[in-house]
Amino acid sequence: MKLYRSMLIQKTVAIVLALAAFSCSAISAHAQTLTASVDRTTIGEDETLNLSLRYNGSSNTRGQPDFANLSNQFEILNQSQSNRMNSYNGRIESYTEWQMILAPRTTGSLLIPAFEFQGARSNPIKVTVSDAQPVAPGNVKEVFIETSIDKDAAYVQEQVILRYKFYYSVNIDELAKEDLAFDNVLVEPLEETRYGKTINGKPFQVVEFGYALFPQASSVLEIPEQTWNARISRSPRRSVFDFNGGRYELKRLKTAAKTINIKEKPASFPAGATWLPSSALTLAESWASDPSKFKVGEPITRTLNLQANGLISSQLPEINTEARDPRLKVYPDQPKLNDKLDVDGAIAQRVETSAVVVNEGGEIGVPGVRIPWWNTVTDKLEYAEIPDRKFWVAAGEKSKQQPVVPTPPAVAEQNDTRQPSAPTTASNGDSGAHSWLYLLVALLILTNGVSILLWLRAAKQRTTSVTSKDNQRAGADSEKSLFNTLKNSCEQGNEAEIRRLALAWAQAFWGKPAITSLSDIARKGDCALQTECLALDASLFRNDDASEFDPAAFYRAVEQVRDSYRVNKSHTTGDELAPLYHS
């Protein structure tokens, strides 16, 4: 009996161990599975699909499959990894999952290859990609892009306006677009504009991105097709930073390619002159006081203002000229260059001032200015001109001479009869005394004139130095005032006003007027500022009240970057701020 019980126990243990081994084997086999799946197998060329790759195994899995072969036919727009552990009816299941958003690189029959990981292998998946379907009349897509240029042909260095209009009628969390760059083309971003538009009775919001292009060589300028990615929110009550949470769709959009014929400078344009292709150019002259009241040794400031539409200030020539009259001296100051970039394009300005001094009285000629330019509207050569001027200049008080009264002839004869030698000696001595007196007066006038000129130049240098220091203090005060105003706006929570003030502050803080968008600010800041700029941009895109933007957090991020730059500046010897990040 005892032997029978012993044998029964041994069999039971053997069965339990066998079942346990079988279970462990089954679990192990299950843990080593690698499964691939997609949300769609038929898509359009301008659409994306979601790929999910799941490995059932340890939650501490490290590494990932090799996705190199996948990128041959698909572009990986986003990739994330998550490790999870679930319990079902007391059974614990752990797995690692990779999720990707893919965009096809071409049309036709594409293949998502099989992947291998930790000895497991996934199944390949076939995806059919068709041509992008045109929008039928009356059936406008919820997001789309319009591409336009203001001219099909232009001269070398002439401004060409390129515009991208992004239309959307749904909530957009993020818009990612490619950088615009060309060979031998200067690119200046224009002011970004936003507005609403109704198309076929459907309301749209429009964001307009403009660029001023200045081709530097005559050729055919090809503006290539670009790919933009718009992330559409399908779940309004979720955080814009939770990329893996909620419902969303990533829409892949393409801009239209454009071709522009760039022509050479016309042969009729004057040789040696600066080439100025412009739609409008003006040249103006002004004086600090009436030049008809010139006086010897007293300077008058002359200002010449050159302004051109469709050019930048670096293209404008020098406009001050040397005086042709030796009695006229011109002392030029440093020119002031200004550029304005608005929605209509570039406007360049060059302002030159000079002190004009007359050394001698009489009729003085002030030289004029004649600048050739090419009118791109009429396609003709024109001249911006200030004519020569002539003024009568009065002598200074110290240069006025007393007239010499001649001796009457009868008196001279009488003196000669009475005392032949004495009058002659007296006359010569008086004439010599007057000559020495006149020479002394002339020397004093010359000495005083030189002293006045030296004093004026020293005063001008002191004024320039003080003005420079005042400008530096004014710039610092302006930046500080804008920062405080931005702080008040963040406390009030007006998002549009926060964006406007943030751009104004950034331009003053970094001294770069080319900062025209929140993306420009984000590139110059740290991770926290980049995150807050993204949140503000996303909030401005929304049409509902489901905003995750925190004005207080935005202000703290700006304050942190500002303090970091100020600390770096205190450790540098130059005047420029030492950048924390390269843009």
User: In this predicted model, what pLDDT tens digit does every residue of 440-482 receive, in sequence order?
Assistant: 656 667 766 666 666 666 555 554 444 444 445 445 567 888 8
Name the helix (H) or strand (E) containing 83: strand 74-88
Longest CA pairwise span in the chain (Å): 188
**Residue 535 · residue 516 · CB < 8 Å:** no
Total Cβ atoms within 10 A of residue 225: 12
Tell me phi and psi for residue 55, to 5 degrees.
-115, 115
pLDDT confidence of residue 467: 44
Distance, CA of 47 to CA of 101 (rounded, Å): 10
**Residue 137 · residue 100 · CB < 8 Å:** no
CATH fold match for the domains 34-130 and 277-399:
yes
User: In this predicted model, what pLDDT tens digit does every residue of 147-190 receive, in sequence order?
Assistant: 999 999 999 999 999 999 999 999 988 899 888 888 899 999 99
Total Cβ atoms within 10 A of residue 291: 17
Distance, CA of 281 to CA of 373 (rounded, Å): 8
pLDDT confidence of residue 309: 96
Class of domain 277-399 (CATH, top level)? mainly beta
Distance, CA of 233 to CA of 143 (rounded, Å): 12
Mean pLDDT of 563-569: 70
Which pLDDT band holds residue 566 (cuts at 50, 70, 90)?
Answer: low
Question: What's the per-residue H, E or C state across 19-72?
Answer: HHHHHHHHHHHHHCCEEEEECCCEEECCCCEEEEEEEECCCCCCCCCCCCCHHH
Percent of the chain with pLDDT over 90: 27
Tokens coding 489 = 């706006």
Q: Is the dihedral of CA 501, 506, 507, 509 positive or negative?
A: positive
Residues in the chain: 583
**Residue 74 · residue 54 · CB < 8 Å:** no
Distance, CA of 348 to CA of 186 (rounded, Å): 15
User: In this predicted model, what pLDDT tens digit does every residue of 289-298 receive, in sequence order?
Assistant: 887 777 888 8
Distance, CA of 204 to CA of 170 (rounded, Å): 8
pLDDT confidence of residue 89: 56
Which residues fall within 8 angstroms of residue 50, CB to CB, at 6 or more apart? 38, 39, 99, 100, 101, 102
- pTM for this model (two decimals): 0.51
Class of domain 143-263 (CATH, top level)? mainly beta
User: In this predicted model, what pLDDT tens digit does every residue of 335-383 receive, in sequence order?
Assistant: 999 999 988 899 999 999 988 888 888 888 888 899 999 999 999 999 9
> What's the chain's average pLDDT?
77
Mean pLDDT of 277-281: 96
Boundaries of every domain in the chain: 34-130, 143-263, 277-399, 454-570
Total Cβ atoms within 10 A of residue 48: 22
C-alpha distances in Å from residue 537, one per residue of 230, 240, 499, 520, 531 = 13, 11, 9, 12, 10
**In 76-231, which residue ranges form alpha helices assigned H by DSSP?**
none
Q: Is the dihedral of CA 478, 481, 485, 491 positive or negative?
A: positive
Tokens coding 13 = 């243990």
**Residue 273 · residue 162 · CB < 8 Å:** no
Considering the domain delimited by 34-130, tell me its CATH architecture.
Sandwich (2.60)
**Residue 570 · residue 583 · CB < 8 Å:** no
Distance, CA of 329 to CA of 310 (rounded, Å): 35
Q: How far separated are the first and last CA of the chain, in Å rounded?
A: 89
Chain center to CA of 427: 81
pLDDT confidence of residue 577: 38
The b-or-e profile of 49-62 (16+ CB within 10 A means b, else e) is: bebebbbbbeeebe
In the chain, the amino acid numbered 219 is S
DSSP state letter for 318: P
Distance, CA of 453 to CA of 459 (rounded, Å): 10
